[in-house]
Amino acid sequence: MKNLLIINGPNLNLLGKREPVLYGSNSFSDVLENIRSIYPDASISYFQSNDESELIQALHGASANGVVGIVLNPAAYTHTSIALADAVMAIDIPVIEVHISNVFARENFRKESYISKFAKGVIVGFGVESYRLAIDHFMRSEN
């Protein structure tokens, strides 16, 4: 059984309520329940915080919990947090950066990611399906 972790950054606790045209109308608990039903052979844990330091601690603590892959939606910290990028760089666990919306079709400041350089890959613009695509990669890969 693969032990995977999904980490969501600021404001994603409002998924389903905040800008449903952009982010959809499902809560993340609905999304997570669906993903877990698709991958019963995976242990998929979830962490969300609006606090940058808590996100960094979740990344740092993942290996102690036996996590072999992380799906990270850093949200607005994508474009602002060198500290979060450093945390991704510092760990030995592969991280896939995901975004619900197509950040390249939005405001110019959203087109730059401090995280991408250190991520195994980036998935953008497929709505909440972006999470499933990342989990699918981890389930099919050896690491």
60 is catalytic: no
Catalytic residue among 39, 79, 99, 137: 99
Of 86, 107, 83, the residue nearest 22 (C-alpha): 107
99 is catalytic: yes
Q: What is the CATH number of the domain that holds 18?
A: 3.40.50.9100
**SS3 call for 63:** helix
For residue 101, CA distances in Å to 58, 126, 136 come to: 24, 7, 19
Cα 40 from chain centre: 19
Contacts of 123 (CB under 8 A, 6+ apart): 96, 97, 98, 99, 130, 133, 134
Indicate the helix (H) or strand (E) that contains 100. none
pLDDT in the model for residue 100: 92
Q: How many domains does the chain have?
A: 1
For residue 99, CA distances in Å to 19, 59, 75, 111, 134 come to: 14, 18, 7, 11, 11
Q: Which structural domain, as residue segments, surrounds residue 98? A: 2-140
CA max distance for the chain = 40
pLDDT in the model for residue 140: 94
Global pTM reads 0.92
Residues 96, 72 contacting (CB under 8 angstroms): yes
Taking only the tens place, the pLDDT of each residue in 90-132 is 999 999 999 998 877 676 766 679 999 999 999 999 999 999 9
Torsions phi, psi for 53 (to 5 deg):
-65, -35
